[in-house]
Amino acid sequence: MLLQIFMEGVKVKQSQDTLHLELCNLNRNLRQAKGLMDLYKDKIAQLDDKLKVWSEQTARLSEDGRRHSVSSGNAQRKLADVLGEAQQLRQSMDQVESKVGRSRLEVAGLLVELEKDRFSKRRTEDDLESLSRKASSLRAKTEGSSVLEKVHQEVNEYRGILKCGVCRDRQKEVVITKCYHLFCNDCIQKLLRNRQRRCPSCALSFGANDVKPIYI
């Protein structure tokens, strides 16, 4: 009976130890759970703070988003305007390039015409130089001909001086010594025969002795 009671006491002791151990484990688990709860509370508080911050940021972002939406709309309109201007500039550039191409063709044509004009000018200058040489040659010949004509004219004048001033045909052969005028012998002898004894040039009277021959 005592053994049975002792055994029951041992069992009770073991049960108590087991219960105490379980209680200690439960207390430890409870403390851990409390620590976890405190940790979770801190995390929840931190999350609440973060949520508040995020809410404020979300509100600001929403406001910024609205502003950005307006700005984006303005930017899109500006972008559309810029694209339109770029398209117009591109069209203008195409027109300018087309004009430049036509201008280049016109310049090339003008250069060809200019080269033709230069070639024609060189030919004209060559022709003018050739004509100038011919004109100089003709001028020299003409001047030579003029000199010859002058010589002939002077010779004719000298011949006229040497011819008798009365008949204009025969050469002067005699001189009237009173006035020293010259005539041909036939004309003076005719005057002497007709008793018209006056000089045909100055009407000075002369006699047969006043007539002397000359040799030219």
pLDDT digit string, tens, across residues 197-210 = 899 999 999 999 99
CA dihedral 167, 171, 177, 181 (to 10 degrees): 60
Cβ-proximal residues to 62 (8 Å cutoff; 6+ apart), any chain: none
**For the whole model, what pTM was predicted?**
0.33
Are 201 and 173 in contact by the 8 Å Cβ rule? The answer is no
Give 124-149 pLDDT, tens digit per residue: 677 767 777 876 777 666 665 666 77
Query: Which residues lie across from 54 on neighbouring strands?
Result: none
